[in-house]
Structure 1
Amino acid sequence: MKSSSSDRRRGHLASAAVAVLLLTGCAGTDPAQPGKSPSAGTSDVRSPAPTPSVTTAPATTAPAPSASTAPAAAAEPGGTAVSNPVSVRIPAAGTDSELLHLGLRDNGSLEVPPGDPGAPAAWYTGSPAPGEVGPAVLLGHVNATDGGPGVFAGLRGLVPGDRIEVVREDGSTAVFAVERGEQYAKDAFPTLSVYGNTDGPELRLITCDGYDPATGEFDDNYVVYAQLVG
């Protein structure tokens, strides 16, 4: 079932005001060990805050779309239709990934990409399409089950001005520029700051961070904020 872009925005904002739920599936392997992906917490950060991870998304008040059903095309500020995203490329991080379309499970948690946690990145279908006014949300794992790097392992190295290119179904490309990266504890995730309304088209990249070797879990989220530039 498809929904209009305005319906998606309304449901999106309502969900942001309700709660934050965690996306499970980040591999519980120590990214700092030899042969394993570097932990976001061990990388240099040029943002003013610590590092967050890909484990959070807001619950929705309406049934979540399935991974195989994407919302209808959105609209740009000028009224031009915006196609749904199919892939993302981040040259500075060496990221080049197709994009799955994932929504929420019946229990309100985010759907997880099939296969290993290092699997392709995903567009959260409860958020605007990239290029539509509002914060489009892309999710990806920081590491894989074998301890190798996940699709968003390089987010911590991004700096202001780095480009993020999102290719859409109609062949167009939305280009975003990184503004900053922030690390948040999962139990103190700033839902409205990440998922709330924005004046223009923006992008959020979210991954896991803050690996705790005592528990084998990631305690934080890392969020990259970016704005549309082309």
Structure 2
Amino acid sequence: MATAPTPSAPSARRRMASWAVLLVLAACMIYRIADSGEDTGTPPRPSAAQAPSSDSAPVREAASSVASLPESAPVRIKIPSISVDAPVQGLSRNEDGGLNAPPADDTNLAGWDAAGIPPGSTGTAVMAGHVDTRTGPAVFYGLGSLKKGATVTVSRQDGSTAQFTVDGVQEYEKANFPSRKVYAQQPRPELRLITCGGTYTTTDGYSGNVVVYAHLTGTD
């Protein structure tokens, strides 16, 4: 997929989610469990009922009634309904502006776009993780089964906690990935969780991506 231009000014980079971020998912499994001869099944895929209520152009949501948090890096993510409890690592961008993948040898590790908005602060934060590896399911294996209303909790470096409520889950083919819809900055704190999805082949990897849309509903 063609990448969007990367802003040159540091302040612009902080405000803009990387539209090239799904390059992380090109590396996010050219191999899969099946390649080891140990296929434990296909990751869950979201149904049409799980899609966000608005599936057209990006909608500028009303400001949240929950006050946003100052910027602070995420250190842990928990999604109880799919048994996720994982540390978070900052991910750098490559020279094309794409997000580098989390290490594939740690199946219980999520990453966030360290050049973008941290979860809990005003704007659209982006977190990514592998769906599976040669050794088995990885941290975001269950994203496709998340339901609307599910809770995502992100612990931050300053000791604060941001709680998000899932607005929807959708799968997109990489050739038709709606970058503007997924990464557009919003006037309230929002979160996108991204992993691989769609069909899988040993030559091309996964054909698409699963995206979770969520917004801030609580802080501690």
Once the two structures are superposed, residues 29-78 of structure 1 have per-residue CA deviations (whole angstroms, 9 ceiling, x without a partner) of 256x875253234x6564148xxxxxxxxxxxxxxxxxxxxxxxxxxx96
Residue of 183, 198, 211 corresponding to 2:199: 211
Question: Are the counterparts in 2 of residues 141 and 151 from structure 1 also a CA contact under 8 Å?
Answer: yes
1:196 paired to 2:184? yes
Q: Distance in 1 between matches of 2:21 and 2:137?
A: 26
Question: Are the counterparts in 2 of residues 130 and 202 from structure 1 also a CA contact under 8 Å?
Answer: yes
Once the two structures are superposed, residues 166-197 of structure 1 have per-residue CA deviations (whole angstroms, 9 ceiling, x without a partner) of 00011110000001001111111111111112
Aligned residue for 1:60?
A: none
Within 5 Å, give how 1:96-135 maps onto structure 2. 96-116=85-105, 118-135=107-124
Residue of 153, 173, 182 corresponding to 1:185: 173
State the AA in 2 paired with 1:194. Answer: V
Question: Are the counterparts in 1 of residues 102 and 130 from structure 2 also a CA contact under 8 Å?
Answer: no
Aligned residue for 2:133?
A: 144
Aligned residue for 2:23?
A: 22
User: Moved runs in structure 1, 4+ residues, more than 3 A?
Assistant: 4-10, 43-46, 77-80, 213-216
Q: Distance in 1 between matches of 2:67 and 2:152?
A: 22
Question: Are the counterparts in 1 of residues 69 and 122 from structure 2 also a CA contact under 8 Å?
Answer: no
Between Structure 1 and Structure 2, how many residues are aligned? Answer: 193
CA gap of 1:26–1:120, structure 2 versus 1, over 3 A, is same
- Offset of 1:22 from its aligned partner? 1.8
RMSD over aligned CA atoms reads: 2.8
Residue of 142, 159, 173 corresponding to 1:154: 142
Aligned residue for 2:212?
A: 224
- TM-score, normalised relative to structure 1: 0.73
> Is there any run of 5+ residues in structure 2 with no aligned partner, and where?
1-8, 53-65
Question: Are the counterparts in 1 of residues 190 and 213 from structure 2 also a CA contact under 8 Å?
Answer: yes
Q: Distance in 2 between matches of 1:97 and 1:79?
A: 23
Q: Distance in 2 between matches of 1:131 and 1:155?
A: 20
Aligned residue for 2:162?
A: 174
- TM-score, normalised relative to structure 2: 0.76
Once the two structures are superposed, residues 198-230 of structure 1 have per-residue CA deviations (whole angstroms, 9 ceiling, x without a partner) of 120000000001132363510100000001000
CA gap of 1:226–1:109, structure 2 versus 1, over 3 A, is same
1:163 paired to 2:151? yes
CA gap of 1:30–1:175, structure 2 versus 1, over 3 A, is same
Aligned-residue sequence identity (percent) comes to 37
Within 5 Å, give how 1:70-89 maps onto structure 2. 81-89=70-78
SS at match of 1:22: helix
CA gap of 1:5–1:87, structure 2 versus 1, over 3 A, is farther
CA gap of 1:45–1:34, structure 2 versus 1, over 3 A, is farther
